[in-house]
Structure 1
Amino acid sequence: MRLITKMLFLISCAAFAQYDYDASEAFPFGQANPNAPAQVKDFDALIGECHCKSTSRKQDGTWNDAVNMIWRWKYIMNGMGVQDETLKADGGHSGSIRQFITDSSKWFVHYYSSKTPSPKLSTWTGNKRENGNIVLYREQKAPNGMDGFYRLTFYDISKLGYKWIGEWVDKTEKIVYPTWKIECKR
């Protein structure tokens, strides 16, 4: 009987080990799994919760008033990926699931939103650069039909917060048109 009890205990411990890096009382936003690609820590400075101001551009080219939002980041899949969610004062909410795929040496970011539900999630790809910025791209035509990308950049990342900007850029990145910006403080 003692042997069976001991075996059940070991099996139970092994089953829970798969969640060692999940959110816990000690780590409410999870932890990076040491078996994950090293790049999973690219978003480490963003993990947690920030209070932010989100500003988007109107159709006429002027900027809307800033919207207060909470941007919450956490490790998911037992520390193998990163998820974020935004909770906006205007009732719009969104989020992303982020996985680094070593075969392509890129982040793949899948975005979803309560204001624009979609049966197929938009996907951005990119990397953290030497200057510390995280830059992601998705092909997108300009309203005039010109080929380009929608570029997302996290920058000025520190323990105090970070900034984010969404911009349409042409294929050479010489034409840059910002459409959305967010400033976050811890």
Structure 2
Amino acid sequence: MKTIILILLIVPFHTFSQYEYAPNEEFPYGRPNPNAPQQITDFDQLIGSCNCTSTTRNQDNSWTEPENMIWTWKYIMNGMAVQDETLKSDGSHSGSIRQFIGDSSRWYVHYYSSKTRSTKLPTWEGNKKENGNIVLYRDQAAPNGTEGFFRLTFYDINKSGYKWIGEWVDRTETVVFPTWKIDCKREK
């Protein structure tokens, strides 16, 4: 009997400590695990929820009317990775799972969407820059076949929110064509 009571007392504590950095009642967005690479905190100021507006390019190169969305970020995998999710006013959803791989010294971001379902998730790679921007790249040719990247940049990151831009750039990054912009304000 004493053994059973002892096991019951140990198991819940062990289970909690095993996931102490995952989202929970006290920390709804989780926490960075101290055993993760130090870059786990690169997205720290984005953790939480923001009200955002998203605009994309039309075929005629004009911009769409801003669409409202909520962008929520949290630490996952017991604080070893970061996940974000968008909930858009048109009913669509998207998100990413972000892992920093120390061997390559870069973030790998796997994107998914309810609008553009895929059997293979597209992946961006990149890092946080000295200026505080987070810049990620994915190989993508322009419609005319010119080799380049689709570049994602988080910038103007501060306590009250952040901005994001998606741009096609050539290999030298001298030709830049923005196609998607998001402006986010932190919920109070």
Moved over 6 A (4+): none
* Higher deviation after alignment, 7-16 or 117-126: 7-16
Question: Is there any run of 5+ residues in structure 2 with no aligned partner, and where?
Answer: none
Equivalent-residue separation in structure 1 for 2:185 and 2:11 (angstroms): 44
Report whether the alignment pairs 1:82 with 2:79: no
Report whether the alignment pairs 1:27 with 2:27: yes
What residue number does 2:45 align with?
Answer: 45
What residue number does 1:145 align with?
Answer: 145
Quick one: percent identity of the two aligned structures?
68
Equivalent-residue separation in structure 1 for 2:4 and 2:179 (angstroms): 63
RMSD of aligned alpha carbons: 1.0
Equivalent-residue separation in structure 2 for 1:143 and 1:149 (angstroms): 12
What residue number does 1:136 align with?
Answer: 136
Q: What TM-score do the two structures reach when normalised by structure 2?
A: 0.96
Question: Is there any run of 5+ residues in structure 1 with no aligned partner, and where?
Answer: none
Equivalent-residue separation in structure 2 for 1:51 and 1:158 (angstroms): 14
What residue number does 1:16 align with?
Answer: 16
* Higher deviation after alignment, 160-169 or 10-19: 10-19
Equivalent-residue separation in structure 1 for 2:65 and 2:110 (angstroms): 27
Q: Would you say how many aligned residue pairs link Structure 1 and Structure 2?
A: 186
Offset, 1:170: 0.2
* Higher deviation after alignment, 16-25 or 173-182: 16-25
Once the two structures are superposed, residues 59-114 of structure 1 have per-residue CA deviations (whole angstroms, 9 ceiling, x without a partner) of: 11110000000000001001000000000111221000000000100000000011
Query: One-letter code of the match for 1:91?
Result: G
Equivalent-residue separation in structure 1 for 2:8 and 2:89 (angstroms): 49
What residue number does 2:126 align with?
Answer: 126
Equivalent-residue separation in structure 2 for 1:26 and 1:8 (angstroms): 23
Equivalent-residue separation in structure 2 for 1:182 and 1:137 (angstroms): 17
What residue number does 1:154 align with?
Answer: 154
What residue number does 1:36 align with?
Answer: 36
Query: One-letter code of the match for 1:93?
Result: H
Offset, 1:6: 1.9
Q: What TM-score do the two structures reach when normalised by structure 1?
A: 0.97
Equivalent-residue separation in structure 2 for 1:131 and 1:69 (angstroms): 27
Once the two structures are superposed, residues 16-58 of structure 1 have per-residue CA deviations (whole angstroms, 9 ceiling, x without a partner) of: 3111011111111111111111111100000000000000001
Offset, 1:5: 2.3
- Going from structure 1 to structure 2, the CA distance change for 1:11 and 1:26 (only over 3 Å counts) comes to closer
Query: One-letter code of the match for 1:6?
Result: L
What residue number does 2:182 align with?
Answer: 182
Report whether the alignment pairs 1:109 with 2:101: no
Report whether the alignment pairs 1:68 with 2:50: no
Equivalent-residue separation in structure 1 for 2:44 and 2:75 (angstroms): 9
Equivalent-residue separation in structure 2 for 1:31 and 1:11 (angstroms): 22
